[in-house]
């Protein structure tokens, strides 16, 4: 870059000074000084402006595809929409919110969302911490185990949903085959509301447990080893060490994992959408496993009720934020207590 | 915990890994059977010899190769864009002092927690108004930058680049951009690779937004969606569907074999710093 400056300076000296009239020839010294001043000024602007320039692409793009749509969702939710002509209708205040909140289908979708979220997050965190604790031993073949637990993560949710759809098929599914073999009643996985949540949570757990186990493992390995030695000298057994040393030490990671899985878990879409093997794909013939995100998609994109879908999106958005904050508080409280 | 593990530890880990592999194995077993055999009980437990026939049927049903190419294009474009802009912004936040940097970074962290995918309706309207529906541009646009990327690169560059090195480069008369290019980028390379991998996978596996933005054009996930619809009304032809699932999964499995270690390292690294 400095060479470019020099060439720029040289060409500037070669040109006649601006203004046209033959100005008095400047001395070499003067030229040199002018060049330095110019360069310094440019450098100062470079120093001042560059940071803003470097962060601006993120903010500009985010404003366009993140912030603006989010705020526009709020705007849309206050209007009636003429579906036939895609034009904005009249201002209806909170009517759309009232519709959505009293819509049995949306209510059902909220319950489904929570049920699937709980069934997928609670066992997942417990299992992931367990796997991490196992991996935190001096196991042979470290790289092999770590990679193996991550295998499901590279299978796309669409593929996961279709694979589990086949395993849990109502009629010829292999899971039902085994149940029958054991003399049990086959389960109607695609019809029975809570069992369908079980199958869908299974997909989420299958894909994400290993991923979260690695995050917990990283946190566990950052725990200073002499803490364990001190605990052992105090007569703490392995389980006690885990409860009194490991768990409190990985608290920040725990909060991080729980909050991110809350934000993701409350927006599950792919799995319930593709688990449905009827052509409607609205989360089961009676919306048994329609999640709220699926509701927003069906209402907003398929049925083109922009206002209602947007109202639903804002409701879900607020719910997610509320749950994330609640989660944070509860996790903090629980892990603080266990550390005493 | 610092003790030599016994059989119990290996046994439990092995059980978990087998559980992790089984559904995937199942898709390859069923994807290589005939339609009739796929519904049998007891089920087949080894792959059959019908994979190629099923694959041909998949190719007849959906435009698999075009979908593969589309997925590759969109994922690569987004990954390149995210890595470039995140490194630039992350470097700025980590190493340059400027007014408002703390507030702006706080904003970035906050947006990580904002579920922006809920805003599909206005995004859909936006794409429709600019005549971008059914284009790959529409698929890529919302994923060109991520707050996570900026955060991740900032965390990494804070430690990876010594301040003295930047000052030295400035002393030597480097412009800001040249300093970034010759000092920060080489140091950031490992993190850039990891961010590339994760963004690529994230865009590749995304289903909801392409479903909204596309109509006739297909990415791999949309092709799978269409494939699963074909047998409906009757019982689903799982031999066909799972053959397609397998075909769509092979590219990511290859990526996993080639870069699995980096994926593991990336997750563990992000965790410690996050």
CB contact under 8 A, A50 and B249: no
Asked whether the beta carbons of residue B122 and residue A279 sit closer than 8 angstroms, the reply is no
Q: Which of A61, A137, A297 sits opposite B145 (nearest CB)?
A: A61
Is a pLDDT exceeding 50 seen at residue A16? no
Mean pLDDT (whole number) for A169-189 = 90
Name chain A contacts of B271, Cβ cutoff 8 Å.
Answer: 214-216, 218-219, 253, 256
Dist. CA A269–CA A274, nearest whole Å: 9
**CB atoms B271 and A256 under 8 Å:** yes
Identify all chain A residues contacting B3, using CB atoms and an 8 Å cutoff.
137-138, 238
Q: Which of chain B's residues have a Cβ under 8 Å away from the Cβ of A54?
A: 88-89, 91-92, 96, 180
CB pair distance less than 8 Å for B121 and A153: no
| Alpha-carbon gap: B100 to the closest alpha carbon of chain A (Å) | 10
pTM exceeding the 0.90 threshold for the entire prediction: no
pLDDT, one tens digit per residue, over A21-37 is 455 555 678 888 888 88
Question: Which residues of chain B does A180 touch, with a Cβ-Cβ cutoff of 8 Å?
Answer: 41
Q: DSSP characters for B54-87?
A: HHHHHHHHS-HHHHHHHHHHHHHHHHHHHHHHHH
- Say whether B150 and A313 touch across the interface (CB within 8 A): no
| pLDDT category of residue A339 using cuts at 50, 70 and 90 | low
Within chain B, what is the greatest distance between any pair of CA atoms? 75
Per-residue model confidence (pLDDT) at position A8: 40
Of A68, A155, A211, the CB nearest to B249: A155
Q: What is residue A332's predicted lDDT score, i.e. its pLDDT?
A: 73
Residues on chain A touching B220 (C-beta within 8 angstroms): 156
* Mean of pLDDT values over A50-77: 91
In order along its 274 residues, chain B shows pLDDT tens digits of: 445 678 889 999 999 999 999 999 999 999 998 887 877 778 888 888 889 999 999 999 999 999 999 999 999 999 999 999 999 999 999 999 889 899 999 998 888 877 777 889 999 999 998 999 999 999 999 999 999 999 999 989 998 888 888 888 888 888 888 999 999 999 999 999 999 999 999 999 999 999 999 999 999 999 999 998 876 556 778 889 999 999 999 999 999 999 999 889 888 887 544 3
Give helix B238-273 / helix B51-61 axis angle, nearest 10°.
90
B85 vs A58, A147, A159: nearest CB: A58
Q: Residue with structure tokens 């920060």?
A: B184
Collect all residues with Cβ–Cβ distance below 8 Å to A63 and sequence separation of at least 6. Answer: none
Q: What is d(CA A84, CA A81) in angstroms, rounded to the nearest whole number? A: 9
Domain that holds residue A255: 95-338
User: Is the domain of A294 the same as that of A160?
Assistant: yes
**Is residue A121 included in any domain, yes or no?**
yes
Q: Do A153 and A247 have their domain in common? A: yes
* Residues in chain A closer than 8 A to B157 (CB atoms): none
pLDDT of residue B246: 94
Q: Residue B269 and residue A218: Cβ atoms within 8 Å? A: yes
Rounded mean pLDDT, A233-254? 88
> Is the alpha carbon torsion for A39, A44, A45, A47 positive or negative?
positive
Separation in Å, CA A134 to CA A42, A65, A121, A170, A208: 58, 42, 20, 36, 17
Q: Is residue A170 part of a domain?
A: yes
Same domain, A39 and A128: no
CA distance A51 to chain B (A): 5
The predicted structure's pLDDT at residue B4? 67
A60 shares its domain with A100: no
Q: Best of B123, B271, B272, B273 to disrupt the A interface by mutation (most A CBs within 10 Å)?
A: B271
B119 and A74 Cβ atoms separated by less than 8 Å: no
> CA-CA distance, A336 to B97, in Å (whole number)?
36
Contact call for A158 and B270, based on CB within 8 A: no
My answer on whether A132 and A29 are in the same domain is no
Same domain membership, residue A332 and residue A250: yes
Distance from CA of A10 to the nearest CA of B (A): 17
How much of chain A exceeds pLDDT 70, in percent? 88
pLDDT at position A52 is: 92
For residue A196, the domain's CATH number is 1.10.3720.10
Helix, strand, or coil (residue B234) = strand
* pLDDT at residue A340 tops 60: no
Provide CB contacts within 8 A for A123, sequence distance 6+: A201, A205
pLDDT tens digits along A83-111: 655 667 788 889 899 999 999 999 999 99
C-alpha to C-alpha distances, B92 to A166, B56, B111, nearest whole angstrom: 49, 51, 18
Using the structure block, give the residue that is written with the tokens 């397609």: B244
CB contact under 8 A, A149 and B16: yes
Nearest to A57 by CA among B53, B139, B91: B91
**Nearest CB to B256; choose among A65, A86, A151:** A151
Q: What is the pLDDT of residue A163?
A: 94
The shortest CB-CB distance from B30 to any of A166, A211, A228 is to A166
Q: Are residues A61 and A102 in the same domain?
A: no
The answer to whether residues A102 and A57 belong to one domain is no
Average pLDDT rounded to a whole number, residues A256-267: 86
Q: What is the ipTM of this complex?
A: 0.92
Comparing alpha-carbon positions, the chain A residue that sits nearest to B38 is A172
Residues A234-242: contacts with CB under 8 Å, at least 24 apart? A238/B1, A238/B3, A241/B1, A242/A133, A242/B1
Report whether pLDDT(A286) > 50.
yes
Task: Report the interhelical angle of B101-112 vs B64-95 (nearest 10°).
Answer: 150
Contacts of B272 in chain A (CB under 8 A): 218-219, 222
Give me the pLDDT at residue B231, please: 65
CATH number given to B64-220: 1.10.3720.10
3-state secondary structure of B232: strand
Neighbours of B272 (CB within 10 A): 13
Residues A270-284: tens digit of each pLDDT: 999 999 888 888 998
What token pair was written down for B55? 């694959």
Note whether A153 and A52 are same-domain residues.
no
Burial (CB < 10 A; 0-12, 13-18, 19+), residue B140, is: buried
Contact assessment for residue B118 and residue A293, using Cβ atoms and an 8 Å cutoff: yes
Q: Note the pLDDT of residue A10.
A: 41
B274 with A256: CB under 8 angstroms? yes
End-of-domain residue from the set A13, A44, A65: A65
- As a whole number of angstroms, the distance between CA B259 and CA B191 comes to 13
Position A313 pLDDT exceeds 90? yes
Nearest CB among A214, A273, A310 relative to B268 is that of A214
Q: Could you say which DSSP state residue B1 is in?
A: -
Of the candidates B118, B145, B245, the beta carbon closest to that of A316 is on B118
Give B257's contacts (C-beta < 8 A, 6+ positions apart): none
**What is the rounded distance in angstroms from the CA atom of residue B274 to the CA atom of residue B264?**
15
Residues of A in contact with B141 (CB under 8 A): 65
Count CB atoms within 10 A of the CB of residue A48.
13
Mean pLDDT of A254-263: 85
CA of B62 vs chain A CAs: smallest distance (Å) = 15
B176:A47 CB<8 A: yes
Pairwise CA distance, residues B162 & B73, whole Å: 36
One domain, residues A152 and A270:
yes
- Contact yes or no for B122 and A310 at CB 8 A: yes
Distance (Å) from the alpha carbon of A1 to chain B's nearest alpha carbon: 6
Dist. CA B238–CA B1, nearest whole Å:
45
Quote the CA–CA distance of B130 and B132 in Å, as a whole number: 5
Residue in the structure block whose two tokens are 């909220």: A110
Interface test with A, best of B264, B266, B272, B274 (most A CBs within 10 A): B264
- Crossing angle for the helix pair A193-221 and A157-167, nearest 10 degrees? 130
CB contacts of B249 in chain A (<8 Å) are 154-156, 159
My answer on whether A246 and A191 are in the same domain is yes
Q: How much is the mean pLDDT over chain A?
A: 85
Tell me the shortest Cα–Cα distance from B35 to chain A, in angstroms.
12
A39 & A101 share domain: no
Q: Which residues of A touch B236 (CB under 8 A)?
A: 165-166, 169, 277
Which H/E stretch holds residue B252?
Answer: helix B238-273
Domain count for chain A, please give it. 2
- Higher-pLDDT residue of A161, B4: A161
As a three-state string, the secondary structure of chain A is: CHHHHHHHHHHHHHCCCCCCCCCCCCCHHHHHHHHHHHHHHHHHHHHHHHHHHHHHHHHHHHHHHHHHHHHHHHHHCCEEEECCCCEEEEECCCHHHHHHHHCHHHHHHHHHHHHHHHHHHHHHHHHHHHHHHHHCCCCCCHHHHHHHHHHHHHCCHHHHHHHHHHHCCCCCCHHHHHHHHCCCCCCCCCCCHHHHHHHHHHHHHHHHHHHHHHHHHHHHHCCCHHHHHHHHHCCCCHHHHHHHHHHHHCHHHHHHHHHHHHHHHCCCCHHHHHHCCCCCCCCCCCCCCCCHHHHHHHHHHHCCCHHHHHHHHHHHHHHHHHHHHHHHHHHHHHHHHHCC
Distance CA B176, CA B169 (A): 9
Q: Please give the pLDDT value at position B42.
A: 81
Cβ contacts of B91 on chain A, cutoff 8 Å = 54
């Amino acid at each position: 870059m400095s060479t470019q400056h020099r060439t720029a300076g040289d060409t500037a000296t070669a040109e006649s000074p601006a203004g046209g009239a033959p100005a008095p020839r400047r001395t070499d010294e003067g030229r040199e000084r002018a060049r330095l001043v110019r360069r310094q000024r440019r450098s100062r602007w470079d120093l001042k402006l560059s940071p803003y320039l470097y962060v601006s692409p993120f903010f500009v793009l985010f404003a366009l595809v993140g912030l603006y749509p989010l705020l526009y969702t709020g705007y849309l939710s206050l209007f009636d929409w003429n579906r036939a002509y895609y034009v904005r209708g009249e201002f209806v205040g909170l009517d759309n919110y009232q519709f959505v909140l009293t819509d049995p289908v949306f209510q059902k979708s909220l319950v489904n969302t929570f049920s699937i979220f709980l069934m997928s997050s609670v066992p997942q965190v417990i299992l992931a911490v367990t796997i991490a604790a196992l991996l935190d031993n001096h196991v042979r073949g470290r790289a092999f185990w770590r990679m193996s637990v991550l295998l499901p993560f590279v299978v796309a949710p669409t593929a996961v949903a279709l694979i589990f759809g086949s395993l849990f098929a109502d009629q010829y599914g292999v899971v039902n085959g085994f149940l029958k073999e054991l003399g049990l009643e086959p389960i109607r996985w695609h019809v029975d509301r809570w069992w369908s949540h079980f199958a869908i949570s299974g997909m989420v757990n299958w894909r994400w447990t290993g991923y979260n186990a690695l995050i917990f493992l990283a946190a566990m390995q950052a725990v200073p080893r002499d803490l364990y030695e001190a605990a052992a000298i105090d007569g703490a057994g392995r389980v006690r060490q885990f409860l009194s040393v490991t768990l409190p030490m990985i608290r920040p990671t725990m909060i991080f994992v729980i909050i991110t899985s809350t934000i993701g878990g409350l927006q599950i879409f792919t799995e319930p959408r593709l688990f449905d093997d009827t052509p409607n794909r609205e989360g089961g013939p009676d919306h048994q496993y329609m999640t709220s995100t699926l509701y927003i998609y069906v209402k907003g994109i398929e049925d083109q009720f922009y206002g209602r879908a947007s109202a639903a999106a804002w409701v879900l958005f607020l719910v997610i934020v509320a749950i994330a904050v609640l989660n944070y508080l509860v996790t903090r409280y629980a892990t603080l207590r266990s550390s005493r | 915990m610092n003790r030599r593990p016994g059989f119990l530890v290996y046994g439990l880990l092995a059980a978990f890994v087998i559980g992790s592999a089984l559904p995937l194995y199942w898709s390859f077993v069923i994807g290589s059977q005939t339609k009739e055999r796929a519904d049998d009980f007891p089920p087949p437990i080894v792959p059959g010899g019908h994979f190629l026939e099923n694959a041909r049927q998949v190719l007849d049903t959906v435009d698999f190769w075009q979908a593969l190419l589309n997925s590759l294009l969109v994922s690569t474009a987004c990954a390149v864009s995210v890595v470039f802009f995140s490194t630039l912004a992350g470097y700025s936040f980590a190493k340059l002092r400027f007014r408002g940097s703390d507030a702006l970074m706080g904003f970035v962290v906050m947006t990580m927690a904002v579920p922006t995918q809920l805003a599909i309706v206005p995004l859909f309207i936006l794409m429709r108004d600019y005549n971008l529906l059914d284009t790959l541009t529409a698929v890529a646009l919302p994923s060109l930058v991520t707050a996570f990327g900026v955060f991740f690169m900032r965390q990494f560059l804070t430690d990876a680049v010594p301040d003295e090195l930047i000052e030295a480069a400035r002393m030597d008369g480097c412009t800001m951009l040249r300093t970034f290019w010759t000092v920060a980028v080489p140091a950031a390379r490992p993190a850039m690779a990891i961010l590339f991998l994760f963004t690529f996978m994230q865009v590749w596996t995304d289903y909801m937004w392409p479903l909204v933005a596309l109509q006739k054009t297909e990415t791999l996930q949309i092709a799978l969606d269409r494939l699963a619809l074909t047998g409906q009304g009757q019982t689903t032809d799982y031999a066909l569907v799972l053959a397609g699932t397998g075909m769509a999964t092979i590219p990511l499995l290859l990526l996993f074999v080639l870069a699995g270690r980096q994926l593991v390292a990336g997750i563990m690294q992000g965790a410690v710093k996050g």
